[in-house]
Amino acid sequence: MSTESAETHNIDALALGTSFLMEMSKTLSRVQLYALAHPMVAESIRHNHETLARLLAAEPTVEIAWTGDKLLVNGIPQTSLGMVTETFSSLFDKFHLHSITFQREITVEELGSFYRILTQKKDPPKTAEEFAEILKTENVPNVKLDISIFAK
């Protein structure tokens, strides 16, 4: 890949990664306010899945990682996200996560289940291990959680 096409690919990946994170943040907010069947939530999840599918067209997985001070999407730092960074910081801290990985085969239904589990009010998961176990039980095989923390 030439230097110019590599730079263009990185800019496209950055823009798409930023868009995906912003959509995830908006979807999380909507799922906390409304039922999954609500038209706004359903549309938000569908749109989020479409953006994720675009990212997955270029890579077999999409990994969102939290380094403690910045978000990465497939290793590319995401900047200038404001409240979106705070949303993900809280999410990653709550479950003691290092990363969330979405696999190419993820369906809209799996993504909806992921959001439902993430925001459920009755018996919510308290740890990454509980969250991962619920994902397995609820048949959401294409979302993986990583609790490994690497020293800087």
Q: How far apart are CA 22 and CA 55, in angstroms?
A: 14
Q: Residue 21: which pLDDT band, with cuts at 50, 70 and 90?
A: very high
Q: How far apart are CA 119 and CA 39, in angstroms?
A: 18
With 50 as the cut, is the pLDDT of residue 39 above it?
Answer: yes
- Alpha helical stretches, state H, the chain: 3-33, 39-58, 83-95, 108-119, 128-137
- State the CB neighbour count (10 A cutoff) for residue 2: 7
Radius of gyration of the chain (CA): 15
At 7 the pLDDT is 42
At 11 the pLDDT is 52
Q: Residue 53: which pLDDT band, with cuts at 50, 70 and 90?
A: very high
Q: How far apart are CA 88 and CA 65, in angstroms?
A: 9
Can you tell me the mean pLDDT for 81-97? 87
At 62 the pLDDT is 95
Judging by beta carbons within 10 Å of its beta carbon (0-12, 13-18, 19+), is residue 1 exposed, middle or buried?
Answer: exposed
At 24 the pLDDT is 93
Q: Residue 115: which pLDDT band, with cuts at 50, 70 and 90?
A: very high
Q: Given the structure tokens 């018996």, which residue do they identify?
A: 123
Q: Given the structure tokens 């999840």, which residue do they identify?
A: 45
At 149 the pLDDT is 55
Which of 109, 138, 115 lies closest to 25 in space, CA to CA?
115
Provide the whole-model pTM. Answer: 0.86
Can you tell me the mean pLDDT for 21-37? 91
